[in-house]
Amino acid sequence: MNNDMLIRVTRYYRALNRLRSIGLEKVFAHNLADAAGVSAAVVRKDFSQLEIHGQKRGGYEITDLIDRLGTILGKGDEQHVIVVGCGRIGKALMHYAGFEPDGIKIVAGFDNDPIVYSDASQPIPVYPMSRLDEVISALKVNVAIITVPENSATDTYAQLLASGITGIMNFSPVTLKPQRTKDGIIPVVHNINIGLELEQIFYELKFPKS
């Protein structure tokens, strides 16, 4: 499965969970197409490649599809994540409820500021950075979201890799590269650069593709 197809299948999976949560039992290719932003023909082609076939009278059973796609996507237990850097963006992510339908749960936050990690009003526990190693192994988590300021992003990244983190979503404007660690692991790194995205939007508006 290539990357584009993976994104589409993940979108189908999310849409199916949402449709089931509002009581639907059956779904048609064009429903999933709408949810994933593609055409119904693409949905049918993807399903045919995954050897998923609809019913005689058209449509698919939602629960059946969720099971099939879940297996393909390697879904199972809840997926745990930590947030490193509990400034405004980090805190917003810790409070964000939108991960739950996808089985993703933020289980801990980390920050250098005693005011932040002593604040009991956070929805999840926040620890000082000095306890990173210990808490990561205790929680057996391997994915982290980096929301530290630009000037500490590189150090934080090195520290996370040394603590056994292998998957990173980076919100700092520094581009982090997936270099092989000394244990021979190549981490999975997604850089989400909000400023860069905005600049691209301005560029595309100024110079529309023909």
For position 41 contacting a copy of itself by CB under 8 A, the verdict is no
- Note whether 93 binds a copy of itself by CB under 8 A: yes
Structure tokens at 70: 């879940």
Q: Which two tokens stand for residue 87?
A: 């400034």
- Kindly report the backbone phi and psi dihedral angles of residue 101, in degrees, each rounded to the nearest multiple of 5, phi listed first: -60, -20
Stretch that binds a copy of itself, among 33-41, 62-70, 107-115, 133-141 (CB under 8 A): 33-41
91 near a copy of itself, rule: CB under 8 A = yes
Of 148, 137, 155, whose CA–CA distance to 112 is shortest?
A: 148
- Residues 53 and 58: their CA atoms lie apart, in Å, by 10
Rule CB under 8 A: is residue 11 a binding residue for a copy of itself?
yes
Rounded (10°) angle between helices 40-49 and 29-36: 110
Q: Does 205 participate in binding a copy of itself (rule CB under 8 A)?
A: yes
Which residues sit at the interface with a copy of itself, rule CB under 8 A? 6-7, 10-11, 14, 35-37, 73-74, 79, 81, 87-89, 91-93, 95-96, 98-99, 101-102, 104, 142-143, 145, 150, 166-169, 173, 175-177, 186, 188, 190-192, 194-208
